[in-house]
Structure 1
Amino acid sequence: MAVILSVQGVDKTYRSAGRSLAVLQQINFEVETASTIAIVGPSGSGKTTLLGLCAGLDRVSAGDIVLNGISLDALGEDERARVRNQHVGFVFQNFQLLPTLTALENVMVPLELRGERNCKATAQELLDKVGLADRGHHYPLQLSGGEQQRVSIARAFSNSPKILFADEPTGNLDADTSETVENLLFSLNRDMGTTLVLVTHDLELASKTQRIIRMKGGTVVSDTMENNVL
């Protein structure tokens, strides 16, 4: 199986008030195309920092991250933005929708930024896929938390990403809504062949992935295959 993401000897250190804080130390792993993986660990273990580095949102202090064959460390900010635009989707805990735009318009934004044609029809099709065909004209504040998260998933899939990074995607949702969102993420992974990388505190959600990486104190303490076929 091809490798979509390779993390090689990655360190991340922040400097503050003349002191260095090592957040990640010597992280090494590879992720296969179309697989599902969860990164778990206590608060402060470096999970979200690692996710941001893997997605090219921030730079490593040492090591390298290779995303779809592209070394992110070798790229400038504009080039990394292009890589994200072409290959990456994001789902965040707090949805990150633009409040002044409707659900349909939120999904259309990345399509318009890429200069694609038929943006409205494509965005509507994506909303259909996440079960919100009749909610496109609603603004985020008119939608429930679960509906907002489904809009953000539709937006994340607007560029048919090769890899989707989800940071606590069910963290602000109740149990029933969480299950709906989880099923949606895994079905889109299956139907579109998109690699799914989750950061989560929810061990039940993590157990539904094929592989779990456990972190503590900025290092990987275990990396286990779950043998799940969803």
Structure 2
Amino acid sequence: MLKLKDIHKSYLSGGHPLEVLGGISTSVEAGESLAIVGPSGSGKTTLLGICAGLDTPSSGSVHLMEEPLSELSEDHRARIRNQHVGFVFQNFQLIPTLTALENVCIPLELKGQRNVHKKAMSWLERVGLAQRSDHYPVQLSGGEQQRVAIARASVSEPAVLFADEPTGNLDEETSGQIEELLFSTHRETGNTLILVTHDTELAAHMDRVLRLRNGMVEMAQA
């Protein structure tokens, strides 16, 4: 499903290269769940973006669904993301001028599918928000917005779901509900789940944990 080999990522800072990732290698099997953890500044979100094809490494190779992401154009990577990837962000990233239902429809419309409202509504029902389908993001709580975001990320049945601190902006009770929703979706769809989190309890429920420190793998555990 996903293979990383010797991933390095550097940025220019004050005219000098700043290495964010220093040689990450790992692989994730289809249907597996992986948590990427570590202190702030350890490179977690950068690594997740490279895994998802949102960013490219300075060196090293990334293969997602057997496609060499690091060698492809942005347009080609975008097509792979549209076809195979779902993404859940910490700050939800719903389009404010669209209703919950319209937000969930977006991935299906990008694929040119028909009967998108029916399928989108079925996912809003699965996340417990069918009765809020005509509400705009500003009319929803943080937990409700994240439920919509999970429905949007899952509606096109992606092979792999990436989540960047999906409970980071939520209170403890709501975080627990979102975690259970992520895991139930993972079980029902059989997708591959890869997430970044500071939540040690959430990480403990994943199949494997990859711990980063200073841009390098400090520990990998099952």
Aligned to 1:60: 57
Q: Give the letter aligned to residue 32 of structure 1.
A: E
Q: C-alpha root-mean-square deviation of aligned residues, in Å?
A: 0.7
Which of the numbers 83, 93, 96 marks the counterpart of 1:96?
A: 93
Are the equivalent residues in 1 in contact too, given 2:35–2:196 (CA < 8 A)?
yes
Aligned to 2:13: 16
Give, in whole Å, the separation in 1 of the partners of 2:81 and 2:128. Answer: 26
**Structure 1 segments of 4 or more deviating over 2 A?**
none
Could you tell me how far 1:206 is from its partner in structure 2? 0.6
Aligned length: 222
Give, in whole Å, the separation in 2 of the partners of 1:76 and 1:159. Answer: 23
Which of the numbers 90, 100, 105 marks the counterpart of 2:102?
A: 105
Give the TM-score taking structure 2 as reference length: 0.98
Provide Cα deviations, 1:52-85, integer angstroms capped at 9, x if missing partner. Answer: 0000001110001100111101210000000000
Are the equivalent residues in 1 in contact too, given 2:41–2:214 (CA < 8 A)?
yes
Aligned to 2:186: 189
Q: How does 1:12-161 map to 2 (within 5 A)?
A: 12-161=9-158
Give, in whole Å, the separation in 2 of the partners of 1:39 and 1:113. Answer: 29
Could you tell me how far 1:17 is from its partner in structure 2? 3.3
Identity %: 59
Q: Give the letter aligned to residue 194 of structure 1.
A: N
Give, in whole Å, the separation in 1 of the partners of 2:176 and 2:30. Answer: 24
Could you tell me how far 1:15 is from its partner in structure 2? 1.5
Give the TM-score taking structure 1 as reference length: 0.95
Could you tell me how far 1:16 is from its partner in structure 2? 3.1
Could you tell me how far 1:190 is from its partner in structure 2? 0.7
Q: Give the letter aligned to residue 195 of structure 1.
A: T
Q: Give the letter aligned to residue 190 of structure 1.
A: R
Could you tell me how far 1:101 is from its partner in structure 2? 0.5
Verify: 1:165 aligned to 2:162, yes or no: yes
Are the equivalent residues in 1 in contact too, given 2:82–2:110 (CA < 8 A)?
no
Could you tell me how far 1:135 is from its partner in structure 2? 0.7
Which of the numbers 186, 211, 215 marks the counterpart of 1:218?
A: 215
Compare 14-23 and 174-183 and name the one that shifted more. 14-23
